[in-house]
Structure 1
Amino acid sequence: MSDSIIQLENVGVYYRGGRQRGAKASSAPWALRGLTLDIRRGEKLGVVGRNGCGKSTLLRLLANIISPDEGSIRYDRPDLHVQLLALGVGFEGHLSGAENAILSGLFMGKSKRHMESRLREIQEFSGLGDAFHKQVNTYSSGMNARLGFSIGLQTDPDIFLIDEVLGVGDKAFLEKSKAALRERFQANTTVVLISHDARTISEVCDRAVWMNAGRILAEGDPTHVCETYETGIASSRRAL
């Protein structure tokens, strides 16, 4: 597709250490298998699925942290700025929230002066108060999520990857974050959001996919995909 920013074609990733020497690929415990997906420029894509379905592996692929074991992944250009927001990823624990904000911006190609000029906005949006100037290793998971999301709003990445972190903050921050995803991101910023909360994906995203066992089971309108997912989950529970 001409508007694709990332294209995955028949991608497979197997769990490291999960395949015995000499075993066939078909016997490996695959995290992803035969996955084909276009990430479109400027879209807000939601990915829903149960734990272990391959969602986080997909984000690591998109962030270029890991490479596929089969198939191909193609980027629109080699200098794409991709920011991954995941719990326990990306922050230096001995640095303060403010120092991590500057460091994150430098990694994204922003100048130190630019990030220093945005510190007040990051601190205010995060709601961290004085903790913004304390070491991140003193933060809770919710505080980490609030800091990471707030930094992402000020670094303007080409692709913002959000892995299951909006649900760890308080309700007020969740609502503020959803409003930012809908309104504050520039039109050319692509967002891929993983969430257990199908309602959040329905409200925020303009396209969704349901993943299970490393494959896509449904793709399209977020409301329809999330309803299909919840129906499938309910059916599987009744079958137990």
Structure 2
Amino acid sequence: MRYKHSYIHPNLGRLANVCIVYIQVSGKPKKTELMKLLTSQKDHIYKYITAGGNFSPHQFKLIETDEMGRYSTSLKFINSPYYFNFNEDTDYVGFYVNYSPGQERIVEATNNVNWKIGFDHFITWLSNLKRELESPNLWERFQNEISGLQLITDFDNSKFTFSEYEELTEKLKIISQRISSIPLFENQQREIIISLERLTELAKELNKFDWKNLFIGTIISIIIQLNVTPDNATILWELIQNVFSNYFLQ
């Protein structure tokens, strides 16, 4: 940018453009030049991912964009909605970051920060990413387990008669005896057997409807809490279905 300098000559007593001086004022650097991460900074990101041991660089995609003069560097976690963005701020003097997943929210963002603080947020993001990827999504697992069951809905609220209780007890014993045929861990087998014994006792007090719901809920809880594999869970449900066929499972 140029500025024209004028002054009043003391002998002429009026404004005179006696001398015109053009001064070249250096403008701010282009935004894209200011916001583009240095190669050394991108290398620092690469090395940190490699050294961390939890991720590999091939799981990420580095994307550098310049849209309408607005520059950003993004790191996308492949095949997921998760990302970390370095974006220019509105004053072009630094950048802000936004990322998902956040510490306590799906998306978190900062105000103007420098490289060190921005990189600290990147470290936090990797920790958040690991946490979310390792979360088993228990609600989804629960829905998957319950959706695969075909329940008989016309179960009454009366208590078990003596003969019904004897029949129920025999069925639960059969399941306990056949549990060993499923390749479960020892603690998983033990917990199922203990739970079946507890359910046997509770059948003396609960009505049929409540007991059925408790039985199903107990088995689902064991599968989820003890991290029974989907294959073994399927075998377990098939065993239960065969034993209780036309009883409360179709």
Larger Rg: 2
- Shorter-normalised TM-score: what interval? under 0.3
More relative contact order, 1 or 2 (CA 8 Å, 6+ apart): 1
Normalising by structure 1, report the TM-score.
0.21
Q: Which has the higher strand share?
A: 1
The answer to which structure has the higher helix fraction is: 2
Report the TM-score, using the length of structure 2 for normalisation. Answer: 0.21
